[in-house]
C-alpha cells in the first residue's frame, strides 16, 4: 500500500532531534468533545464505541481538528480499551461513569482464559481507520497510532473500569505478583502486535499511553509498568516505507523515572505539566526528544495568558533540538475552540526560527 509523500514532516524531524523551522505542535485528544463538529458526528454514530468502529466517521473526526488548526500531526481516533474489548471482556460506556467491562480479570483462571486476539482480524476496524485516515490526509501531516500500556490496560481489566485506588490490581501485584506478570506479559505481546499492525496499515509514529503508571511506587513502576513497555519497544517495527517509525512513551506522573524511560530505546518521552522541561532535558541529555507539557487548564484562560504560557515553556526548553509541543494531558471538553487555536498559533509564532 503506497501513500502520498509527506508535505510537513517537522513532527518526525523533531522526534529525531533534527533541526526544524518551528516547534511542531499537536494535542492529545485533539479530536474530541471541545469541538461542536465532533459532538455532531458522535451523535450521528449513536455511541462512542460505534464511532470508534465506524471507519468513515472515525476518519472524519480525526481530520476535524486539522480543518480548524495548523497542527503538525494527526492522531488516530480510537480508544486504548479496544485491546481488552478484543479479548472478550465486553467494553461498554456508562454515561457519567466512563468505561466499564462486563467481565473482570482477577484470578489465575481468568488470566488463562483470556484469548490472544488476532489483531489484524479482531481489531480490523482500527487498521481500516488507520489506512483510510492516512490516505485522506494526503501527506498533509504524519499520522500517529497508539495503544495503552499493559499496566494501564490491566487497571481497567482488573478493576472493571476506572478506579481511584486500583485496589484489586495493587493487591495482585503485592500478594500474587506472578499473576500480575502473567497478565501483563500477555498484554505486552498483544500491544506489540497491535502497534505493528497499525504501522503496517500506515501509522508513521506510535505513542504508548501509560496513563496510570504514576500511581505505582518507585520500584513497582519499573517492575510492573516500564518492564512491559520496554518489551513492546524491543518488539516494534522501527523502519517502514523507508523511514524510521518513532515511538513515544508517556507516563502521566512519570517524572521520577525519566532516565529509566529514556534508556528503553524509545525516541521521545511525553511529559505531564508537573515536570520542568529544562530539568527533564538536563536529566536525559540527548538520548530522546521531549514532548509536552502545558497544563491543559491553561486553555481556560484568556488568549493573552495562553500566549504568555506558551512563550514561557518555549523559553524554558531553549534553542535545542528535539521538542514537540503538546499539552501535559488531553484537552478537556469545556475548552473553547478559539483558545485551542490561540495556543497552536502561539507555538508556531514564538518558535519560528
Q: Is 282 a catalytic residue?
A: no
Q: Is 156 a catalytic residue?
A: yes
Among the listed residues 13, 39, 68, 79, the single catalytic one is 79
Give the global pTM: 0.97
DSSP tally for the chain: helices H, then strands E: 17, 11
Phi/psi at 161 (nearest 5 deg)? 165, -155
Q: Is 281 a catalytic residue?
A: no
Among the listed residues 13, 29, 39, 135, the single catalytic one is 29
Angle at 126 (CA atoms; ends 82, 322), nearest 5 degrees: 90
Residue 198 marked as a ligand binder? no
Q: Is 42 a catalytic residue?
A: yes
Residue 10 marked as a ligand binder? no
Residue with C-alpha cell 495562553?
A: 306
- Strand intervals (E) in the chain: 74-75, 91-94, 98-101, 143-148, 205-210, 239-240, 243-244, 247-251, 268-270, 289-291, 323-324
Number of other CB atoms surrounding residue 198 within 10 Å: 28
Among the listed residues 38, 156, 194, 221, the single catalytic one is 156
Residue 276 marked as a ligand binder? no
Number of other CB atoms surrounding residue 329 within 10 Å: 22
Give the 3-state secondary structure of residue 91.
strand
32: nearest Cα among 46, 51, 50:
51
Distances in Å between the Cα of 11 and the Cα atoms of 20, 28, 49, 74, 172 are 9, 14, 29, 10, 40
Ordered by where they begin, the domains of the chain are 10-293+322-328 (3.20.20.210)
Phi-psi region of 118 (alpha: psi -120 to 50; beta: other; left: phi over 0): beta
In tens digits, the chain (353 residues) has pLDDT values of 789 899 999 999 999 999 999 999 999 999 999 999 999 999 999 999 999 999 999 999 999 999 999 999 999 999 999 999 999 999 998 777 789 999 999 999 999 999 999 999 999 999 999 999 999 999 999 999 999 999 999 999 999 999 999 999 999 999 999 999 999 999 999 999 999 999 999 999 999 999 999 999 999 999 999 999 999 999 999 999 999 999 999 999 999 999 999 999 999 999 999 999 999 999 999 999 999 999 999 999 999 999 999 999 999 999 999 999 999 999 999 999 999 999 999 999 999 97
CA distance 302 to 284: 34
Among the listed residues 33, 68, 140, 244, the single catalytic one is 33
Residue 135 marked as a ligand binder? no
Q: Is 167 a catalytic residue?
A: no
Residue 211 marked as a ligand binder? yes
Residue 30 marked as a ligand binder? yes
Angle at 94 (CA atoms; ends 89, 98), nearest 5 degrees: 80
Residue 329 marked as a ligand binder? yes
Amino acid at each position: 500500500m503506497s501513500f502520498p509523500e509527506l508535505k510537513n514532516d517537522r513532527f518526525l524531524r523533531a522526534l529525531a532531534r533534527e533541526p526544524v523551522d518551528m516547534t511542531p505542535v499537536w494535542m492529545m485528544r485533539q479530536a474530541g468533545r471541545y469541538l461542536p463538529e465532533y459532538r455532531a458526528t458522535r451523535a450521528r454514530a449513536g455511541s462512542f464505541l460505534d464511532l470508534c468502529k465506524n471507519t468513515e466517521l472515525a476518519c472524519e473526526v480525526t481530520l476535524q481538528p486539522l480543518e480548524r488548526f495548523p497542527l503538525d500531526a494527526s492522531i488516530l481516533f480510537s480508544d486504548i480499551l479496544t485491546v481488552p474489548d478484543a479479548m472478550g471482556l465486553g467494553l461498554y460506556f456508562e454515561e457519567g461513569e466512563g468505561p466499564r467491562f462486563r467481565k473482570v480479570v482477577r484470578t489465575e483462571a481468568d488470566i488463562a482464559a483470556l484469548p490472544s486476539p488476532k489483531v489484524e482480524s479482531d481489531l480490523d476496524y482500527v487498521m481500516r481507520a488507520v489506512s483510510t485516515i492516512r490516505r485522506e490526509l494526503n501527506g498533509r501531516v504524519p499520522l500517529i497510532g497508539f495503544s495503552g500500556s499493559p499496566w494501564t490496560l490491566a487497571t481497567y481489566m482488573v478493576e472493571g473500569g476506572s478506579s481511584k485506588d486500583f485496589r484489586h490490581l495493587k493487591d495482585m501485584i503485592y500478594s500474587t505478583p506472578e499473576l500480575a506478570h502473567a497478565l501483563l506479559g500477555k498484554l505486552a505481546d498483544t500491544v506489540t502486535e497491535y502497534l505493528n499492525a497499525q504501522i503496517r496499515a500506515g501509522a508513521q509514529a506510535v505513542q504508548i499511553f501509560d496513563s496510570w503508571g504514576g500511581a505505582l511506587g518507585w520500584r513497582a513502576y519499573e517492575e510492573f509498568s516500564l518492564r512491559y513497555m520496554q518489551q513492546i519497544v524491543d518488539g516494534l517495527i522501527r523502519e517502514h516505507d523507508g523511514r524510521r517509525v518513532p515511538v513515544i512513551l508517556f507516563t502521566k506522573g512519570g517524572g521520577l523515572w525519566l532516565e529509566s524511560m529514556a534508556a528503553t530505546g524509545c525516541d521521545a518521552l511525553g511529559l505531564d505539566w508537573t515536570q520542568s522541561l529544562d530539568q527533564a532535558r538536563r536529566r536525559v541529555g540527548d538520548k530522546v526528544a521531549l514532548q509536552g507539557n502545558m497544563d491543559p487548564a491553561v486553555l481556560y484562560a484568556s488568549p493573552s495568558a495562553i500566549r504568555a504560557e506558551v512563550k514561557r515553556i518555549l523559553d524554558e526548553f531553549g534553542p535545542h533540538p528535539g521538542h514537540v509541543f503538546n499539552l501535559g494531558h488531553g484537552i478537556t471538553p469545556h475548552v473553547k475552540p478559539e483558545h485551542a487555536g490561540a495556543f497552536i498559533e502561539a507555538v508556531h509564532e514564538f518558535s519560528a526560527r
